[in-house]
Structure 1
Amino acid sequence: MNLPSVAFIGTGIMGLPMARNLLHAGFPVRAWNRSPGKLQALATLGAAVAPTPAGAADGAQVLICMLSDGPTCDEVLFGENGAALALAPGALVIVMSSIPVDTAVEQARLCAERRLRYLDAPVSGGERGAREASLAIMVGGETAAFEQGREVLAAMGRPVHVGPAGTGELSKLVNQLIVASTIATVAEGLLLAERGGADPAKVHEALMGGFVDSPIWRQHGQRMLNNDFTPGGPAKWQLKDTRTALAQAQKLGLDLPVGRLVDSLFAAMVEAGDGELDHAGLIRQLRRNNPLPE
C-alpha cells in the first residue's frame, strides 16, 4: 500500500518525535524547520530536508504544521511563498499547533478557497506522548478530511474527530485549562506537604492509585520533587494557552474564576523569568509567593 507523502513543518520539542514516528510508520517525509540544525536527526532516518516551507510542501499529499502559535502558522502557510500555496488541489493541511479557534476557522476558509482540505488537530501528552506515539489528538474539520488524514494522525497518537473546523482547538483549550489548574493544585499540595513536615515524596507515593492519581500527579509531581524543570511544555506556552482559553470564554460570555487565577499564577512565573522552564516549575512561583520565615 502506498502511503501519502507528508510535508512536516516545525521540528521542535514536539514536532521532531512526531515526524520521527511518521518515518518509522513508513510515510515519506520532507521536513522544514526555522533552525536547520534540528533537521539532522530526521535526515539520518531518511527524511528529505527542504530549504523552505514551500519546498517541503511541493508535491506533498499531506502538510502538517507544528509551530508555536497562530501568527507563525499563518505566515508559514499563507505568507509569501507559503507552504499551503505550494500544494495541489485535494491535498490535506493539518495544523497541529495550539492556535485560537477563530484562527483555525479562518485557515479552513483559506484552504477551501484553494480547494485544499483542512484539519485543526492539536495534541496533548507532552514530549513523552510525542516520543511514544500516544498523543491525544483532538481533530476539527470535515468528516471527509478526517478520513483522509486518519492514517497519518494514527501514526502519532489517538485521533478523535470532535466536530467542524475550530473544535479541535476548542478541545485543546479545554485540555489546557484543566492541565494548568491541575498542575497548580498538585504544586499547592506538594508545597503543603513540604512545609507541613511530611516527606513530599512519600505523600506523592501514598496518593497513587486514589482519586488524585493522574499522569500530572505522577509525571509533573515527580518533576516538582526532583526540581527538574527541563521543558517538555514550557510555561510561556502554557500561559499563551490559558490566555487564549480565557479570551474564548469571554467571547462566549463565560466567567471562569479558576482559570483566571491559574492564568495569573503562570503570568507571575513567566514575569519572574521562568517562562522557559517546564510548566511544572509553577511550584517555584508558589514558593516565591510563600517565602520561608527568616
Structure 2
Amino acid sequence: MIEIGKYNDLRIVAKNSDGLSLSDGDREILLPYMHVPKDAELGDTLKVFVFVNKDGNTIATTQEAFAEVESFAFLTVVDANDDGAYLDLGIGKDVYVPTREQKRMMEIGESYAVFVYLDETNNRMLASSRLDKFIEEDDFDFDEGDEVSLLISEKTDLGFNAIINNRYIGLLYHNELFSNLKPGERRKGWIKKVRVEGKIDLTLQPTGYGHILDTKDVILKELKDNGGKISLGDKSTPDEIYERFQISKSAFKKAVGGLYKERRITVTDDEIKIVVDHFAD
C-alpha cells in the first residue's frame, strides 16, 4: 500500500512522456523526470516521498522532505493570510496550517514546532502547532534514566519543552542547562523523572551509576593527558566544568568523589591531581 505523506520503496514499472511510473504492486504513481535519478532503470526500486499536489494528483519525489505525516517537525512559514499559513516542506510542496490549528498567529519567515497529519477528506498534508492535541499522556514506553530523542519545541518560563521520541512532551529546566538551546534543535536526552501527574522532567546529561563510571574514566584520562593535574576542583563553576567535560557539576562531583574515595586523586578547591601510584593504571 502506497502511504501518502511518507517515504515509500517503489519499483519502476514504466516510462512515459511525463516521467516514470512507480508501483507497489497494486497501484501506480508518477515520478516526474525532474526528480528521476540519472542511473534509474526499469525494475529498479526507488525510495520516494509521496504527496498529493495542488491538482489532486498523487505524485512521488526523490527530494528530501523535512517531515512525514504523523511526526513532529520544526518548519518555516513561507506564506500566510487570514485563513492560514504555508510551511516549507523542502519538496516544492508546502504544508498548510489552518488558522484554527495555530497556537498563535504564524508570521512569514518564522519557524514553529508542528505536528504533520493527513486531511481525511482529501489526503492532503496539514500541520498544527497545537501540539497538545497530538501528544500521548500515558502508557509511557520508557523508564527513568532511559535515553530518548528530543525535538526542542519552545522556550517557556521554566525552560524548554521538548518532544520525546515523537510521542510525548517533557521539560528541560533552565537551571540544569549548561549550553545554549534553540527551538528546532534535535538532541539526545534522558528521562530524569516521571511525575505522579504524568509530567516528564528531562535532562541532557546521562543519569545512573553507569554514567558515573564512564565519567570517572574520562576524568582520569584527562588527568593523564595533562601531566597528572587539571585546573578544576570543588569550587569550580558549573560553566567551567561543562566547558571541559560537557557534564553537570553534580555529575562531576559524584565522579570526583568516587575517585577520591578510591584514593586515585587528590582534590582542592581549584585543582585535581592524580595519585602517583595510579598514573600508569
Q: TM-score, normalised by structure 1?
A: 0.25
> Quick one: higher RCO (CA 8 Å, sep 6+), 1 or 2?
1
- Higher relative strand content: 2
- Rg: which structure is higher? 2
Instruction: Please state which structure has a larger fraction of its residues in helix.
Output: 1
